[in-house]
């Protein structure tokens, strides 16, 4: 009798082990019309990194600001890390974003246009380094938000009907 070979059935993970999402700004897609997105690094202190790894980050009221030749993230709330004691950080401090000069000049040019802002849409760890996805966006008026909601619900109903039909 021959031996039966056991095939290992490993599930292939669709998630990248080097990528971990910390926080998303879900309101941004509703309140703003996203025009362009760019990934940039962020300068964090040690206790901020520990707090971010545990998921204690809020991007709800955050925005980007161009000052001189640098871009800063303002209003991002990273909760204090309880084990840091005296070496803790200020939760809502202004944090520097790391971009190349070309990217900064491009963002500065678009952000200076009337009605455009820099909005963080996500914060994540990529290969152990903290990154922020920053978007140039135009604010939506109330009637635009209503139109978008109607269009989204109509699309959802169409998808539902198509799946039930199959």
- Give the angle 48-49-54 at the CA atoms, nearest 5°: 95
Judged on CB neighbours under 10 Å (0-12, 13-18, 19+), 149 is: exposed
72 in Cβ contact with 95 (< 8 Å): yes
Domain boundaries, the chain: 19-140
d(CA 134, CA 97): 10
At residue 106, what are phi and psi to the nearest 5 degrees? Answer: -65, -45
Q: Quote the pTM value.
A: 0.73
| β-strand partners of 129 | 126
Buried b (16+ CB within 10 A) or exposed e, 27-41: ebbeebeeeeebebe
Residue at token pair 């925005």: 63
pLDDT digits 0-9 by tens, 86-135: 778 888 889 999 999 998 888 777 777 777 888 999 999 998 899 999 99
- pLDDT in the model for residue 150: 86
CATH number belonging to domain 19-140:
2.40.280.10
pLDDT digits 0-9 by tens, 63-91: 888 888 889 999 999 988 888 877 788 88
């Amino acid at each position: 009798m021959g031996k039966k070979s056991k095939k290992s059935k490993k599930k292939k993970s669709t998630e990248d082990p080097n990528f971990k999402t910390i926080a998303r700004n879900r309101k941004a897609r509703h309140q703003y019309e996203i025009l362009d997105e760019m990934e940039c690094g962020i300068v964090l202190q040690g206790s901020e990194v520990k707090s971010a790894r545990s998921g204690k980050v809020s991007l709800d009221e955050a925005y980007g600001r161009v000052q001189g030749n640098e871009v800063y993230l303002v209003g991002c709330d990273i909760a204090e890390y309880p084990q840091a004691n005296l070496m803790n950080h200020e939760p809502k401090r202004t944090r520097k974003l790391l971009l190349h000069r070309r990217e900064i000049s491009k963002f500065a040019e678009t952000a200076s246009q009337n009605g455009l802002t820099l909005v963080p849409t996500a914060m994540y760890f990529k290969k152990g380094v903290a990154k922020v996805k920053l978007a140039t966006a135009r604010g939506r008026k109330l009637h635009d938000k209503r139109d978008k909601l109607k269009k989204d619900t109509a699309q959802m109903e169409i998808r539902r009907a198509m799946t039930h039909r199959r």
